């Protein structure tokens, strides 16, 4: 069973990909949405850091993967 509080705090530490969140049957749809929205927020912060020449890694790719997962749950950002 997934520790929701840990997952919402740092989704990329709990899950390898956004698709893994979708596959987690221990979470409700609402919990999956919250985790994915947090992951999208984190990816946006990394994208800003990359734009400012700070450390970051392929955040735009991750952001699009998170957005795709949210679309699969019926959520558009």
Nearest alpha carbon to residue 66 among 54, 44, 53, 8: 44
pLDDT at 27: 96
Q: Is residue 43 part of a domain?
A: yes
Per-residue pLDDT of the chain in tens (77 residues, 90 and over written 9): 789 999 999 999 999 999 999 999 999 999 999 999 999 999 888 877 777 765 555 566 888 899 999 999 999 87
Q: Is residue 65 part of a domain?
A: yes
Range of the domain at 29: 4-72
pLDDT at 9: 93
Q: Is residue 19 part of a domain?
A: yes
* Residue positions counted in the chain: 77
Q: Is residue 55 part of a domain?
A: yes
Q: How far apart are CA 69 and CA 26, in angstroms?
A: 17
Taking the CA atoms of 27, 68, 75 and 43 in sequence, report the sign of the dihedral they define.
positive
Q: Is residue 64 part of a domain?
A: yes
Model-level pTM?
0.79
Instruction: Report the number of distinct structural domains present in the chain.
Output: 1
Q: Is residue 77 part of a domain?
A: no
């Amino acid at each position: 069973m997934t520790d929701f509080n840990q997952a919402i705090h740092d989704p990329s530490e709990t899950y390898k990909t956004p698709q893994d969140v979708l596959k987690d049957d221990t979470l409700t749809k609402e919990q999956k949405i919250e985790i994915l929205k947090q992951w999208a927020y984190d990816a946006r912060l990394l994208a800003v850091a990359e734009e400012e020449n700070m450390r970051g890694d392929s955040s735009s790719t991750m952001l699009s993967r998170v957005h795709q997962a949210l679309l699969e749950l019926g959520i558009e950002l």
